[in-house]
Structures are given as C-alpha cells and as structure tokens.
Amino acid sequence: MILEAGYAGVAAAAGFMAYAVRGRGACVLAPSVWRGPRTKKRIALTFDDGPSESTGELLDLLDTAGARCTFFQIGRHVERLGEITAEAVRRGHEIGNHTYSHSPLYLRPRQFIEDEIALCQDAIERAAGSRPLLFRAPYGCRWFGLREAQRRHGLMGVMWTAIGQDWREDASSVHRRMKSAARPGAILCLHDGRELTPKPDIRDTIEAVRRLLPELRGQGYDLVTVSDLLCPTSAAS
C-alpha cells in the first residue's frame, strides 16, 4: 500500500512537471499567454524560427491579405538576415524573441537561459531598432530561471492556441489544422524557418498560408499581431 502510494506520488509529480514545462496555459515557470480575448473576431498568426530566405514571399502574401503578424525570430538567423527582420518591421509586423540558437531551455542552467534571451534581444535590436516585448521558448518548453530572465528583459511569454506542425506535414494537412482552430482570440503557430537550417524548404507552410488567409478574411477575421490581439489600444507600431 505504501509503495503504491509512493508510485502514485511520483507519477503525479512527473505529470505536474510536464505540464509546467510544456502546458500551453502553464505559468508555473514563467508567465505566458496562449490566446487573446474572445470578444472580437481577431486572430494572431505567428511564425517561428525565422527569418529565412523565404520569409519575403510570406511577407508579400500577408500584405495582399492586409494581415499583420508576429515573427518569433532566432538571433543567429537575425544576424545573418537582418535586412529581412527590418523589412518585416517596415511592413507593420511585430518581432518576438525565440532565443539566440533555438536550443531547448529545459534542464539548462539559469545563465544559459539568460544568455540565449539577451543575445537574441541584442541581435533583433541591431536589425530592427527596438527590443522585443514578446518571447516564445523553443519547442514551447520552459525551465527554472526563465521567469527571472523574462522579467529582466521585460518579456511576456507567448504559447499558442494551435500549432500547424508544418515542419513535418503537407500543405493540406497544415491548412486543415489551422482552419479548424480559427476562433476569436486564437494564436496560431506556424514556421517560416526550420530551426537552424539555412535556406529551409517552407513551401508547404507558404501554400497553407496562401489558402488560409482569404478564408479567414472571408469569415470576417482581422489578422493582427499578438500585441494588438492582447491590447488593441496599445499595439506595437
């Protein structure tokens, strides 16, 4: 009986830790949001792992639909393709911090987490002229020390309502998943890069977005940045 109770306690602790690390609504290790208010027909499209050589094509698609979105960018890519980061800002999009090297943060020391965030903040500021206010952890995994790092850098964590799995599925599957997740206040996660891969193939992502944008517009949704979704009166300019 005692042994069984011990096993149950260990299982409960493991389940709680898994939720704290990866749960979209968890704020145990750091504050974060996973959706916005449901009172208006607004959706925030977000793109992780860029900038990449194909981000420009995505920017053109977003322009055509009158959409503004949030790009969570990797510092090493920003150092390589800073002109794309700057162009995204010029077109009215928002840039978020996705760490410097996209290394998982879980099981990492606090100084590693601080350095990953600080280096990315610096790279984006050099390219875009301002420091991000939003942060998304690689793979959505948080760890001890992230709360303090976010506070030092003035960052709010952002998870997602739904993720497209566009790094492994074809355009039709990604499109269906994102379309079915479209609800007022949703934060949808896609990718304009593939971790640290140079010149990544994101054709399925682009095709899924090409199909999705007119459908969301036709349903009356405004496609906005995360900041505008959360706080419309003080959206990032």
Report the C-alpha gap between 84 and 87 in whole angstroms: 5
- From the list 48, 49, 166, 204, the catalytic residue is 48
Report the C-alpha gap between 150 and 216 in whole angstroms: 32
Name the 3-class secondary structure at 6. Answer: helix
Report the C-alpha gap between 32 and 159 in whole angstroms: 7
The CA angle 128-103-157, to the nearest 5 degrees, is 60
C-beta separation of 94 from 236 below 8 A: yes
Neighbouring C-beta atoms of residue 173, cutoff 10 Å: 15
Check if 204 is active-site.
no
Check if 102 is active-site.
no
User: Where do the H-state alpha helices sit in the chain?
Assistant: 2-22, 55-64, 75-80, 82-90, 110-128, 146-153, 171-181, 203-218, 226-230
Q: For residues 9, 12, 14 and 19, what is the CA-based torsion angle, rounded to 10 degrees? A: -160
The structure tokens listed for 14 are: 């493991």
String of b and e for 36-45 (b: at least 16 CB within 10 Å)? beeeeebbbb
- From the list 77, 93, 175, 191, the catalytic residue is 191
Catalytic residue positions, numbered? 48, 191
